[in-house]
Structure 1
Amino acid sequence: MTAGQVSNNGPKPLQRNLSRRVSFNEATLARSQEPPKPPAEPEFIDTEAQVVSRPPYSACCNSCCAWTSLVLAVLLLLSILVGGVYFAFLQSNLPQVRLHRLDVYYLEVNNTDTDTFLTSDLEVRLNFTNDNSKIKLSYSRMTASLTAEGVDLGTVTVPAITQEPSSSADVRARTWMRKTSAEEAVAEDLRDNSLKHLMVIDVVLKGHIDFLVNGNKMNGFPIKVSCRSIDQSEIDNGHAPKCGVQMTPL
């Protein structure tokens, strides 16, 4: 290849490069001559609505809420504490109750071809002792339920009584049942045990108790006396089993 040929062939690639550059510039120029697009419509933001809907929290409000919660919590704890002390005071001044006598006046079983009937007449005596020297006690709306070895022996209303400080009082509960249907084996076991003075009896009294302290009356408290599994032979031997006493709505 001659030098003249080299010089003649050399400008061709430069020309192609130049045409490329010109075409790019023309495209750019064409785009720049296009009419500008209208600006996008700005979004409408209801600043007033945002301000109105935003909760008006502030440091002062947060502090006020915190102090209010603290005061309410303290008042609640104080109420629980005072109520607990008050309940403990009343519970500690409930009477002591002992079952000291059981009389079985009549207990008979009648068998027929189709059924067994039980007839009974029993009485229990409970001693209520008020150990407090300043509180007067009053009992009202009391009912007594007697059961023996799973057999219901009846429920009776007990008359209301008032008990002076440092005193004792007897409460009697006598129940009658006339030809009540019962299971034959259970009824006969109950009759045999009563003849041998080996009955095991449960007595439950429910009612209300009032406390009178220095002329002030605190009334309407529910009371429950439970004498569970009391052995007749123990009572006959002169013992007086202690009964449970509690304030309860049940």
Structure 2
Amino acid sequence: MAAGQVSNNGPKPLQRNLSRRVSFNEATLARSQEHPKPPSEPEFIDTEAQVTGRPGCSACCNSCCAWTSLILALLLVLAILVGGVYFAFLQSNLPEVRLHRLDVYYLGVNNTDTDTFLTSDFEVRLNFTNDNSKIKLSYSQMTTSLSVEGVDLGTVKIPAIIQEPSSSVDVKARTWMRKTSTEETVAEDLRDNSLKHLMVIDVVLKGHIDFLVNGNKMNGFPFKVSCRSIDQSEIDNGHAPKCAVQMTPL
């Protein structure tokens, strides 16, 4: 072969390498398209564009609910205040009650071989004083219970009473029981203390009271009069112990 001539039959390494490189690049490009790499930076997502509806509606509803809750709370507080004032008014105009008399008509103890029986006939008098000059008091039927030194001496009903302003009225409650079985020692102690005027008395009166002002009726509540641990000697000496009077809301 002459110098300076190039043989056409010789290898063409450059072309083969280019062909292979192009083939490798195409395959790589195809795989990269099938499995694209995640972007190095997160894409920006417009969240506002995804919100549906009118944004002002939620704020309006929240404001309405807040005002409604506030108004209801104020109404509740107002109702409690009005109820408290009304209850205080009724409580302040309750009558003054004093236990000023005790009569023992009969107290007998009957002992047998097997049991002891107690027979009693007691009467108590309570004075109700209405100090208000404008309010008339109306008492419904009342129930009075009497016990002496823990011994129940019976319960009696008292008819309804209407009391005028600035007035006092006596309420009598007479209880009795016939041959009631009791312990011998209790019955004997009760009889001995009665003879010595040393009995300790408990009187409880329950009923309902209404208030009448200028012909208008103000509905009241149930009330209770409690005369606790009253000494018989104190009553016999002319004293009139004051009883506790209170409203008892339903």
TM bracket, shorter-chain basis: 0.7 to 0.9
> Distance between the aligned counterparts of 1:197 and 1:24, measured in 2?
132
SS in 2 for 1:143: strand
> Distance between the aligned counterparts of 1:231 and 1:113, measured in 2?
33
Count of paired positions: 219
- The alpha-carbon deviation at position 32 of structure 1 amounts to 3.3
> Distance between the aligned counterparts of 1:60 and 1:247, measured in 2?
47
Give 2:161's aligned residue: 161
Judged with a 3 Å threshold, the aligned counterparts in structure 2 of structure 1 residues 148 and 51 are, in CA distance, closer, same or farther, namely: farther
TM-score between both structures, scaled by the size of structure 2 = 0.80
- The alpha-carbon deviation at position 75 of structure 1 amounts to 1.1
Deviation per CA, 1:177-211: give whole Å up to 9, x if none. Answer: 00111111111111110111111000000011110
- The alpha-carbon deviation at position 25 of structure 1 amounts to 8.5
Within-5 A mapping of 1:75-86:
75-86=75-86
Please tell me whether the aligned partners of residues 90 and 220 of structure 2 are also in contact (alpha carbons under 8 angstroms): no
Q: Give unpaired runs (5+ residues) of structure 1.
A: 1-18, 40-49
SS in 2 for 1:238: coil
Q: 1:32 aligns with which of 29, 34, 53?
A: 29
Within-5 A mapping of 1:57-206:
58-206=58-206
Structure 2 residue identity aligned to 1:30: A
Q: Give unpaired runs (5+ residues) of structure 2.
A: 1-16, 37-50
> Distance between the aligned counterparts of 1:100 and 1:226, measured in 2?
14
> Distance between the aligned counterparts of 1:218 and 1:128, measured in 2?
20
TM-score between both structures, scaled by the size of structure 1 = 0.80
> Distance between the aligned counterparts of 1:201 and 1:83, measured in 2?
36
- The alpha-carbon deviation at position 76 of structure 1 amounts to 1.1
Percent identity, aligned pairs only? 81
> Distance between the aligned counterparts of 1:211 and 1:179, measured in 2?
42
SS in 1 for 2:140: strand
Structure 1 residue identity aligned to 2:60: C
Deviation per CA, 1:31-83: give whole Å up to 9, x if none. Answer: 434696599xxxxxxxxxx969xx99622211111111111111111111111
Please tell me whether the aligned partners of residues 144 and 156 of structure 2 are also in contact (alpha carbons under 8 angstroms): yes
Judged with a 3 Å threshold, the aligned counterparts in structure 2 of structure 1 residues 172 and 23 are, in CA distance, closer, same or farther, namely: farther
Deviation per CA, 1:138-186: give whole Å up to 9, x if none. Answer: 1112000001111000000011111000000000000010011111111
Q: Does 1:231 align with 2:227?
A: no
> Distance between the aligned counterparts of 2:89 and 2:249, measured in 1?
18
Judged with a 3 Å threshold, the aligned counterparts in structure 2 of structure 1 residues 24 and 106 are, in CA distance, closer, same or farther, namely: farther
- The alpha-carbon deviation at position 219 of structure 1 amounts to 2.8
Aligned-residue CA RMSD (Å):
2.7
Structure 2 residue identity aligned to 1:232: Q
SS in 2 for 1:177: strand
- The alpha-carbon deviation at position 23 of structure 1 amounts to 9.2
Please tell me whether the aligned partners of residues 211 and 220 of structure 2 are also in contact (alpha carbons under 8 angstroms): no
Judged with a 3 Å threshold, the aligned counterparts in structure 2 of structure 1 residues 31 and 130 are, in CA distance, closer, same or farther, namely: same
Moved over 6 A (4+): 22-26
